[in-house]
Amino acid sequence: MTMFKFLLPVSFLLLSIGPALADQGGLTFDNAWTPEAPPGRMMAGFMEIHNTGPDTVAIVDGRANGFGHVELHNTTMEDGVMRMRRIEALSIAPGQTLVLEPGGLHLMLIEPQRSFRDGDQIELVLTDSDGREYSLSSEVRPRRR
């Protein structure tokens, strides 16, 4: 029993540290990655965003360490041509997992200020429509072929 009392505060401590890494304000971010790109080119951010909270969350802005600015993009086919369009928000409904992936929704990391290689981590901050910020890092990986 003494042991149990001793362990309990430790487990509370772990719980309070653990979610801070990935679960912030009802959003969790998984598998965030960025394909390698030639130096000087803008890069993309892909990930899965899961909303564990009770309210729809709209990501409306972002920034990335090492880049001038970040835009939210969608990829569409128009007359057989793939185009990227800037969008206003990424909305994630309660319980929904929004997938950002090649050929679809993505973050556009614009004006690189340095080069990034396979294995580098790009620090991202996403902002929702209530001004809450979500920090995560995106791993640079070889481009899929």
49 scored as a contact of Cu ion (CB under 5 A): no
Which window, 12-20, 55-63, 76-84, 127-135, contacts Cu ion (CB under 5 A)? 76-84
In sequence order, what are the beta bridge partners of 84?
A: 75
The encoded tokens of residue 60 equal: 């409306």
50 scored as a contact of Cu ion (CB under 5 A): no
Distance of alpha carbon 72 from alpha carbon 70, whole angstroms:
7
- Smallest gap from Cβ 73 to Cu ion, in A, equals 3
Size of the site for Cu ion (CB under 5 A): 3
Tell me the residue type at 34: T
73 scored as a contact of Cu ion (CB under 5 A): yes
108 scored as a contact of Cu ion (CB under 5 A): yes
In terms of CB distance, is 26 or 106 closer to Cu ion?
A: 106
In sequence order, what are the beta bridge partners of 128?
A: 59
Distance of alpha carbon 129 from alpha carbon 111, whole angstroms:
24
In this chain, which of 7, 14, 21, 84 binds Cu ion, going by CB under 5 A? 84
Is 43 in contact with 32 (CB distance < 8 Å)?
A: no
Binding-site ranges for Cu ion (CB under 5 A): 73, 84, 108
